[in-house]
Amino acid sequence: MAKTIITSPGAPTTGFTDKGTPSPLAQAIRAGNLLFVSGQGPLDPKTRELVSADIREQTKQTLANLRSVLAAAALDFSHVVNMRVVLRNTEDFPGFNEAFREFLQGEKVTRTCIGATPHRKGVNVEIDCVASFE
């Protein structure tokens, strides 16, 4: 089965490399009826800089970046079946969860949330997802 690379200009592609180096990652890959979206963080799509230190603002930007990648594949959060979340500080979970709930506006997904260290300094949340075209 061939894979299709999906790219959105409304979300950053980083791979956590410097701005002048092409990323080794795809924002998303379609394989069959599934879309696998690379982990997105709280970066401004144009500047690739952190939007804020606040976990709520970081969560909203991260989800907005995911929404942009999904839209490039003609999908939205109603197509998402699973999300994986990495929080730098597990004490941020209440603020993260509040912003997550508000952003998804009642849409249900499965989700795993773990505490770990995202690779880029200042990034306190990273989220990837799998969506279905069916």
- Per-residue pLDDT averaged across 121-128, rounded? 94
- Assess whether pLDDT exceeds 90 at residue 4: yes
Q: What is the pLDDT of residues 37-89, one digit of tens each?
A: 999 999 999 888 899 999 999 999 999 999 999 999 999 999 999 999 999 99
- Per-residue pLDDT averaged across 104-113, rounded? 96
Higher pLDDT, 112 or 16: 112
- What is the predicted pLDDT for the residue at 48? 85
Minimal CA–CA distance to 68: which of 8, 14, 12? 8
Distance CA 125, CA 93 (A): 10
In this prediction the pTM is 0.93
Fold of 3-11+27-132: 60s Ribosomal Protein L30; Chain: A; (3.30.1330)
